[in-house]
Amino acid sequence: MTSTAGPPPSGGSPTGAAAWADSFATETPAMLAARQRALTSATAFGTPEPVEPAVGATLAVLAAGSDARAVVSIGSGGGVTGLWLLQGMRPDGVLTALDGDPAELRAARRAFTEAGTPSGRTRLIFGTPAEVLPRLSPGAYDLVVCAGPPLEYSGQLSGLLGLVRRGGSLVCHGLLAQDRIADRSARDPQTVAWREIARTVREDETLTCAVLPMGAGLLVATKR
Active site residues: 173
Distance CA 79, CA 158 (A): 25
Q: Pick from 96, 84, 105: which is nearest to 142 by CA?
A: 96
CB atoms within 10 A of CB 106: 16
Q: Which residues contact 193 (CB under 8 A, 6 or more apart)?
A: 149, 150, 151, 154
Q: Measure CA 128 to chain center.
A: 16
Helix (H) or strand (E) holding 125: strand 122-126
- The number of residues making up the chain comes to 224
**Alpha carbon distance 70, 125 (integer Å):** 15
Residue 200 exposed, middle or buried by CB count within 10 Å (0-12, 13-18, 19+): middle
Reduced to 3 states (helix: H, G, I; strand: E, B; else coil), residue 23 is helix
Residues 6+ away with beta carbon under 8 Å from 168: 66, 141, 142, 143, 144, 222, 223
